[in-house]
Amino acid sequence: MAVEQRLLLGCDRCTRVSEAFSSHGVVYLWFPLGHTMGKVVSALNEQGIPCDVDRGAGYIGVNLDQSSPELLVRSIEPTLTSREMQDSRALHMPNGGEPKLADVGRTLALGEFIELSRADLLRGILLEERLTSHFQPIVSVANPAEIYAHEALLRGVDTDGTLISPGVLFQQARDGGLLFQLDLAARRSAILNAVKHDIASRLFVNFSPAAIYDPVYCLRTTVSAVREGNLDRDRVVFEVIESDKTDDPEHLVSILEHYRAAGFRVALDDVGAGYGSLNMLHRLRPDYMKLDMDLIRNVDSDSYKSMIAGKLLEMANELRVTSVVEGVETQGELDWARQHGADYAQGYFFARPAPEPRTSLE
């Protein structure tokens, strides 16, 4: 069975994506002041979005069959202050028609409506599989021309082809209850694109422990995909996303133990960004420790950063944990990493993430 088919099997929670709620119908908007309404009408006109203005009733109606929810949100959000967003109201009528008294209870604060609309944008990306992965090389500090691994970094693709950053995607997923689905899709994209490009180096794949209920059940599609893609498990490294670390240490330990039992390696990301990673280090005992990019930035000229990062690398060496310094952008930062015993490095100084993985840096 093909990798794509195998990836569709597994946890319903992770694979099921409901249809967008605001793809059709009419959105009605009420504003606290006529001035606020005027600003929104002007913004919509500038974007060529047709709207019906009923100043007597105090609302604007926008037909979503004539304008996408995405364009509507992009037009409104920069126009209003946070207080105006809070005091304005929105109502979606999926079948059209004018609002009635019974619909009043379904109105939302405009800011809440926008968050739901963003989740809808993500639903569209997931349903239409508009996701891809870019690859950034991880190089040997001793010989930066030697590519040791590639990290797969998620990108969304907007309807106009514009790329959407993973930070935006995951924030929308958290706000819209789609973290499980996006995390699985991100792992799927990383593996499929690695297979597509026949990556021979090690592959670092991010995952969110907050998006996994039961590692045996929720991760089986990922494990199956690696197997079907004939990737060497020993060369696949699953990397814990710092921002989504679980509040249950035992749960995270069980996830990493499941990966290890399946023959994979694990990495702890953003070490040095806060207390969380250091507190978990003795529990997780990762194969790789990645030092946070903010800690590495200007580390060669900042004595505080140098002391902290140097101690972390010293600890990694003593524990025999392979170290990776992230965010290297200058020769000075690379020289510092080499002088302090870092094993590998990653950053714009070597290469930016790209859809085609680099085979050489010479």
Name residue 134's beta-bridge partners. 153
- Closest by CA to 7, choosing from 221, 212, 223, is 221
- Average pLDDT rounded to a whole number, residues 214-227: 75
pLDDT confidence band for 217 (50 / 70 / 90): low
> Model confidence over 286-314: pLDDT tens digits?
999 999 999 999 999 999 999 999 999 99
- How many other β-carbons are positioned within 10 Å of the β-carbon of residue 32? 14
Is the pLDDT at 160 greater than 80, yes or no? yes
The answer to whether residues 51 and 82 touch, using CB atoms and an 8 Å cutoff, is no
Question: Best-predicted range by mean pLDDT among 183-197, 275-289, 335-349?
Answer: 335-349
pTM, entire model:
0.74
pLDDT of residue 223: 81
81, 87, 91, 97: CA torsion to nearest 10: -100
Extract the tokens encoding 99.
């609002």
Given strand 59-63, what is the order of strands in its sheet? 52-54, 59-63, 26-30, 89-93, 108-109
State what percent of residues in the chain have pLDDT above 70: 88
Q: Distance of CA 300 to CAs 145, 327, 336, 337, 343, Å?
A: 21, 13, 6, 9, 17
Residue 249: phi and psi, rounded to 5, are: -60, -35
Q: What mean pLDDT is reported for the chain? A: 85
Between 73-82, 116-125, 324-333, the lowest mean confidence (pLDDT) is in 116-125
